[in-house]
Amino acid sequence: MNVLAPLETLFTVERGSDLPLPPDLLTLFGHLQFPPRQGRPYVIGNFVTTLDGVVTLNEPGHVSGGDISGFNRHDQMVMGLLRATADAVIVGAGTLRSAPKHLWTAEYIYPPLSHAYRQLRTSLGKPVQPLNVIVSAHANINLDLPVFQSGQVPVVIVTTPDGLQRIREQHLPRSVQVLPVRTIHSTDSLDVRAILEAVNHVQRSEMILVEGGPQLMGDFFAEQSIDELFLTLAPQIAGRDGHIDRPGLVSGKRFAPEHPLWGTLIGVKRGGSHLFLRYAFEAVAFAF
């Protein structure tokens, strides 16, 4: 029996038609809407941050988002809901290293609602599990991890041509594909448009979820490829002392004061002392 209290909706903006949430999810989260598609995947980001802007404590044994949220069940429930709506979930190699046993599925992050998440995916006409996308320019990836070896999720590794060669030196499980894409202006950053094209090539996608880390999120914002950001604000002050890097939401990219990226608040929910914020951003229109 699920004993999680419903989130309190403090503010919301109508975004389109309601998704067919099963009763348990509708009770806990409330209505969920996304605007009509514009002939391309709709890209959303999901992150949790402390009050002072820290997204990872970046210390041995304390590198996950759970340390930031306090392993908050509302945050896990929302993460599961977003994964349940997504055709693909994109994470960087750093996120993979911080959660080596993880599978990027709704059931994995919040098992009590596994049945409801599966119902939602069926109602939306989506495959049983979202495509798990691992982005790594250098492809320094351990293929023995569960996401690659379990066979429970389809996986694609997006990397450079050099990274493809490194991957081929290992035994590649049958459920894993590797796609090389271009980098941006001779840097190590992979071209975000090329990443999205690769994902859409493997799994035709209407909704793509980006879960970071900060470097990858910075790349997506830099190329104006994020339509919405779901941001959980945890009531924690983590602090920084200069000895260990504790990045914020975006790393490796600078926008203000030259070109600040402003979001529009479209939703606020509350679960205890945690706030669940939703922002819309101006993404560049493109077509595959």
Residue 254 to residue 276: CA distance in whole angstroms = 25
The answer on pLDDT for 184 being more than 80 is no
Supply the mean pLDDT for the chain: 94
**Tens of pLDDT along 66-88?**
999 999 999 999 999 999 999 99
Distance set, CA 8 to CA 3, 13, 21, 81, 278 (Å): 15, 15, 17, 16, 14
The pTM is what? 0.95
Residue 83 to residue 112: CA distance in whole angstroms = 15
Band of pLDDT at residue 186, cut at 50, 70 and 90: low
Average pLDDT over residues 125-151: 95
**Tens of pLDDT along 201-227?**
999 999 999 998 999 999 999 999 999
Average pLDDT over residues 43-60: 96
Cis peptide before 213 (omega within 30 of 0): yes
Band of pLDDT at residue 187, cut at 50, 70 and 90: low
pLDDT (0 to 100) of residue 185: 65
Average pLDDT over residues 277-285: 92
- The fold of the 8-24+65-280 domain, in CATH, is Dihydrofolate Reductase, subunit A (3.40.430)
